[in-house]
Amino acid sequence: MLRPEKEDKVARLKDRFQNSSSVICVDFRGVDVEKITKFRRELHECSVEYQVVKNTLTRRAVAETGFQNIDQFLVGPTGIIFCLEDVATPAKIAKKFAEADKGADKGALKIKGGIVEGSVFDAEGIKKVATLPSRQELLAELVGCLQSPLSGLVGVLQGVISECVYTLQAIADKKNEGEQ
């Protein structure tokens, strides 16, 4: 590769790192084309970028970003999952593919580790991140928690109004009986 090409790749990688909140490094050695294609497709469906990187160019790209500690995972063939917002969903996908081939004779996808919101995690740490609920699930829980007290308040207020209406109706019925 010529020097201008390398500089261009480093600049693009640096941009990807700067736009990511977290990254996960995987080893894809020995994984067949069909499985890696399926892996890429699932990540793409979640709007997550995956790229096979050259370790030396990656080291240059992260030198000026918050991902300098990724060097320890840049050994051997490396694929990087760039997480823009939600890290739980891509971690779940990586864990699923890593565990699917656990006992296989052929190569299996292996999680090397990653950096989540500035903290370095090894493979076991990334697998623990995969057990966390996704961003969408957390937002849904938050909305449910906020909605519950409000719906309770509406129910209480509705009960008070209904009681008032029933009392007024009973008084009106009594007056009508007394007039007849």
Please name every residue paired with 116 in a beta bridge, in sequence order, or none if there are none.
Answer: 22, 119
pTM (two decimals): 0.72
Query: For the residues 64-92, what does the mean pLDDT come to?
Result: 88
> Rounded mean pLDDT of the chain?
85
pLDDT of residue 42: 92
How far the first Cα of the chain sits from its last, in Å, is: 104
DSSP symbol at 65: S
Task: State whether the Cα torsion 4-70-133-154 is positive or negative.
Answer: negative
Higher pLDDT, 95 or 154: 95
**Dist. CA 7–CA 86, nearest whole Å:** 29
pLDDT tens by residue, 5-32: 888 998 999 999 888 889 999 998 888 8
153 burial level (CB within 10 Å; 0-12, 13-18, 19+): exposed
169 Cβ partners below 8 Å, 6+ apart? none
Question: Quick check: helix, strand or coil at residue 119?
Answer: strand
Higher pLDDT, 26 or 136: 26
- Could you tell me how far CA 145 lies from the centroid of its own chain? 21
pLDDT of residue 135: 75
pLDDT tens by residue, 103-128: 555 567 899 999 988 889 999 999 99
Q: Are 67 and 23 in contact (CB under 8 A)?
A: yes
